[in-house]
């Protein structure tokens, strides 16, 4: 990703990426959390898909709606999801930008542009770093949203969850499912291997059109419009989601309480038991919900990210110029 702030006043590229990611992650989680809750509960349901008593998106949603505090239950686990999501996107985008700049310095031709493989590598490294730092938050979140607050033994809040995990499982309890989370980094890598090249191609076409037929709106060639942002982000996310979805189901089961007894021991144990008891479709439980959840969340995340990334350095640079004048 090109450094939009190079040679200009205002915050550094890393700071812009961090702020844009923080705001994007916060907005995306506000929109997508109820879908995340339903998806997680679908993923940890080990009844065979299609059987009469198997959980469905509708049955889970209705159960929450019929509970004593439906809105509170739909947003159960929202605090760790918000903290984790905002921190993850801030860390991911800022570190991804730095990895991209590093990869650019390795090019023998200074004018050479990053290719899809470069974006894949940068996103993989940034995603791996992000997962290592934030995995404890995701373990707590998964355990909170897998139950209603009133369920026996349910975790009440993020601090209660952290204390219980540390007391009963020790520090390693916070890193359950980490291997699958690191594997899942490939989803983000695939997503940005498509998103960034498509975006750069579109902006290059815009710049060419601006040079050929100038209309006085120079900034248009450096900013994605709403429709284009929605189209590119949807295309990249759907491809990435479908390619690695089964890992999310396995990870969700690994991170629940009493996972070994309920689902099997370790990644291989969980996967083997799913295959034997639920078949191929078991690995795609919650995919429909995940698709519904991811689109509003993805749209919100990338619309906020692209707009903050575009306007923040220009706003800050303009403010500095006014102060100096």
Closest CA to 82 of 94, 90, 70: 90
Q: What CA–CA distance (Å, rounded) separates 142 from 202?
A: 38
| Residues 35-56, mean pLDDT to the nearest whole number | 78
* 49-58, 72-81, 272-281: segment of lowest average pLDDT: 49-58
Q: For residue 278, what are the contacts with CB-CB under 8 A and spacing of at least 6?
A: 46, 47, 48, 49, 285
Q: Name the pLDDT band for 216 (thresholds 50, 70, 90).
A: low
More confident residue, 125 or 70: 125
Question: What is the reported pLDDT for 220?
Answer: 59
Q: What CA–CA distance (Å, rounded) separates 116 from 74?
A: 38
Question: What is the reported pLDDT for 163?
Answer: 92
| pLDDT digits 0-9 by tens, 90-132 | 999 999 999 999 999 998 887 788 999 999 999 999 999 999 9
| pLDDT digits 0-9 by tens, 149-193 | 777 777 888 888 899 999 999 999 999 888 878 887 888 899 999
% of residues, the chain, pLDDT over 70:
91
Asked whether the beta carbons of 322 and 42 are under 8 A apart, the reply is no
- List, as one string, the DSSP characters of 14-49: HHHHHHHHHHHHHHHHHHHHHHHHHHHHHHT--SPT
- List, as one string, the DSSP characters of 240-291: HHHHHHHHHHHHHHHHSTTHHHHH-SHHHHHHHHHHHHH-GGGGGTTHHHHH
Q: Cβ of 2: how many Cβ atoms within 10 Å?
A: 16
Ordered by where they begin, the domains of the chain are 13-324 (1.50.40.10)
Question: What is the reported pLDDT for 130?
Answer: 94
Backbone Cα Rg of the chain: 22
Q: What CA–CA distance (Å, rounded) separates 133 from 138?
A: 10
H-type helices in the chain, by residue range? 13-43, 57-65, 70-74, 78-105, 116-145, 158-169, 178-212, 226-255, 259-263, 266-278, 287-324
Q: What CA–CA distance (Å, rounded) separates 87 from 110?
A: 33
Q: Name the pLDDT band for 57 (thresholds 50, 70, 90).
A: confident
Tell me how many degrees the CA angle 322-324-325 measures, rounded to the nearest 5: 65
| pLDDT digits 0-9 by tens, 259-270 | 788 888 888 898
Q: Give the best-scoring range by mean pLDDT among 5-9, 22-26, 41-45, 55-59.
A: 22-26
| Residues 48-65, mean pLDDT to the nearest whole number | 80
Position 302 pLDDT exceeds 90: yes
Mean pLDDT over the full length of the chain? 83
- Give this prediction's pTM: 0.71
Taking each continuous run of H as one helix and of E as one strand, the counts in the chain are 11, 0
| Residues 219-238, mean pLDDT to the nearest whole number | 86
């Amino acid at each position: 990703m090109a450094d939009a702030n190079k040679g200009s006043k205002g915050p550094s590229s890393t700071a812009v990426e961090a702020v844009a990611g923080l705001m994007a992650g916060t907005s995306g989680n506000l929109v997508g959390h109820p879908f995340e809750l339903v998806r997680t509960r679908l993923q940890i349901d080990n009844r065979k898909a299609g059987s009469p008593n198997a959980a469905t998106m509708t049955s889970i949603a209705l159960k929450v709606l019929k509970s004593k505090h439906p809105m509170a239950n739909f947003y159960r686990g929202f605090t760790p999801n918000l903290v984790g999501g905002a921190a993850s996107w801030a860390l991911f985008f800022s570190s991804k930008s730095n990895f991209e700049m590093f990869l650019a310095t390795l090019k023998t031709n200074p004018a050479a542009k990053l290719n899809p493989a470069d974006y894949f590598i940068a996103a993989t490294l940034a995603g791996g770093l992000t997962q290592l730092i934030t995995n404890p938050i995701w373990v707590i979140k998964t355990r909170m949203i897998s139950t209603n607050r009133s369920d026996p033994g349910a975790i009440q809040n993020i601090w209660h969850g952290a204390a219980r995990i540390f007391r009963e499982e020790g520090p390693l309890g916070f890193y359950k499912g980490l291997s699958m989370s690191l594997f899942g980094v490939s989803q983000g890598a695939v997503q940005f291997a498509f998103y960034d090249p498509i975006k750069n191609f579109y902006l290059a076409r815009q710049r060419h059109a601006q040079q050929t037929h100038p209309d006085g709106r120079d900034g248009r060639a450096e900013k994605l419009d709403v429709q284009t942002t929605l189209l590119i982000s949807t295309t990249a996310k759907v491809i990435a989601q479908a390619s690695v979805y089964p890992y999310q189901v396995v990870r969700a089961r690994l991170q629940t309480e009493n996972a070994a007894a309920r689902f099997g021991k370790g990644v291989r144990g969980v996967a083997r038991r799913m295959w034997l008891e639920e078949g191929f479709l078991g690995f795609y439980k919650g995919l429909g919900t995940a698709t519904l959840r991811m689109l509003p969340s993805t749209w919100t995340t990338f619309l906020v990210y692209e707009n903050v990334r575009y306007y923040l350095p220009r706003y800050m640079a303009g403010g500095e110029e006014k102060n100096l004048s």
